[in-house]
Amino acid sequence: MLIEQSIAERLGAFPTVRMRRLRRTPALRRMVEETRLSPADFIYPLFVVHGHNVRREVLSMPGVYHLSIDQLAPEIEEISALGIPAVILFGLPASKDPIGYENFDTYGIVQQAVREIKRVNPEVVVITDVCMCEYTDHGHCGIIHDHEVANDETIEIFGRVAVSHAEAGADMVAPSGMMDGQVAAIRRALDGAGFSHIPIMAYAAKYASNFYGPFRDAAQSPPQFGDRRGYQMNPANAREALREVILDIQEGADIVMVKPALAYLDVIRQVRETFPVPVAAYNVSGEYSMVKAAARKGWLDERAVALEILTAIKRAGADLILTYFAKDAARWLK
C-alpha cells in the first residue's frame, strides 16, 4: 500500500500524532494487532518408520521424532487436542532402490500410517508428501537416466504414488519433486482412479535451499551424487516463482506452497497478492534447527523467536504454515 502525500498530510504528524498511544498497554496492543497466529494455521510434519516401539529423536532436529506406526495414536491425539487440523507425512522405507517401489506399495510405510491416523481420528486432515528422494537409493527426486532425472517418466510414477496414498485414505497430496507437469500428471491419475475430490497442495515455488540440511538427515534422503539444482529453483529468482505458481494453478493445484519460508517472505507476499488461491509456506528444517541450537546455547529465547518467525510468515501472506514448531506453538498460544 503506497500512501500518497496528500493522504499522508491528512493523517497528520507529531505532536498531534503519537504512535505510542496505542502501544501503552497489553490490551491496547492486542486490539490493534494485525496478524494473529492460531493452531488452525499449522500443518505438522511427521516422519514414519518401520518397526515397533520406535520413537527416535532426529539428532539435528531436537523435538522431532521418527515414529513407528504403533506410536502414532498418542501423537495424533495430542495434535488434535492442541487444535492442529493437519499433518503431512514423510516415510522412511524398509529399503531403497532406483525406482523407490515402496512409495506406491499398499503396505508401504506412508500408506500404513495414513490408515492408522484415519483410524485414530478420521477428522485429522492427512496430507502426504509425494516425492521419491526418501525411497530411491540415489536420493534424487525422480528416475535417473544418464545421471539426469527423467522428468516425464518420473511424473507418471508420482501419479501412481498419489493414487496409492488416496487409496489408503489420504485427504490431500503434496507433490514436492519439482518436476515439470507433476501437478497435471497427479490430477489426471487421481481423477482416473475416482479421486477427483482429493485436493493437491503443490510445492510450487520450492527453492534449492541449504536450509533443508537437517530434513535430509531426518528423511535419510541426501542425493548420492550431484545436487537438486537441476529441478529446484535458484534462490536468486522471484519472478520465476510466480511463473511456477501460474503453471501449477493451471495444472490443477488447489493450494500453492512457497518453500522455505523465512528467507523467502518476499516471494510469499508476491504470490499472495498475485493469485486468489490459498498459500502455504514451509518453515523448513534448517529454520527450526537454527532456533533450537541457538536456544540451547542460551543465545535466543526459543518461544519468543519461534512465535515471531511464525507471525512474520503469516504477516507476509501465508494462510497455512508447515512447521516443526506446530505443537509447541499451539501450546504457547493457549
Peptide bond just before 260 cis, omega within 30 deg: yes
Instruction: Check residue 135 for interaction with ligand PBG (CB under 6 A).
Output: no
- Catalytic one among 96, 118, 206, 327? 206
In the annotation, is 259 catalytic?
yes
User: The C-alpha cell of 62 is what?
Assistant: 531436537
Instruction: Tell whether residue 244 is a contact of ligand PBG (CB under 6 A).
Output: no
Marked catalytic residue, from 96, 259, 314, 327: 259
Which residues between 168 and 227 bind ligand PBG (CB under 6 A)? 176, 212, 215-216
User: At closest approach, how far in Å is the CB of 129 from ligand PBG?
Assistant: 5
> Among 72, 86, 131, 253, which residue interacts with ligand PBG (rule: CB under 6 A)?
131
Q: Quote the least distance from Cβ 205 to ligand PBG, whole Å.
A: 13
Nearest C-alpha neighbor of 220 from the set 139, 329, 127, 157: 139
Q: How far apart are CA 135 and CA 221, in angstroms?
A: 8
**Can you state the percent helix, strand and coil of the chain, rounding each to 5?**
45, 20, 35
From 14-22, 127-135, 261-269, 309-317, span contacting ligand PBG (CB under 6 A): 127-135
Sequence-distant (6+) residues with CB within 8 A of 332 are 303, 306, 307
Nearer to ligand PBG, 29 or 56 (CB): 56
Active site annotation includes 96: no
Window contacting ligand PBG (CB under 6 A); options: 94-102, 103-111, 126-134, 190-198: 126-134
Reduce the DSSP state of residue 172 to 3 states and report it. strand
Q: Is 280 in the site for ligand PBG (CB under 6 A)?
A: no
133 binds ligand PBG (CB under 6 A): yes
Confirm or reject binding of residue 285 to ligand PBG (CB under 6 A).
yes
Q: Does 128 bind ligand PBG (CB under 6 A)?
A: no
**If DSSP codes are grouped into helix, strand and coil, which group holds residue 19?**
helix
Cβ atoms within 10 Å, residue 275: 17
Q: Where are the alpha helices (DSSP H) in the chain?
A: 5-11, 26-31, 72-81, 109-120, 151-168, 182-192, 213-218, 239-251, 265-274, 285-296, 302-316, 326-333
Q: Looking at the annotation, which residues are catalytic?
A: 206, 259
Residues lying near ligand PBG in the complex (CB under 6 A) are found at 129, 131, 133, 176, 212, 215-216, 228, 284-285
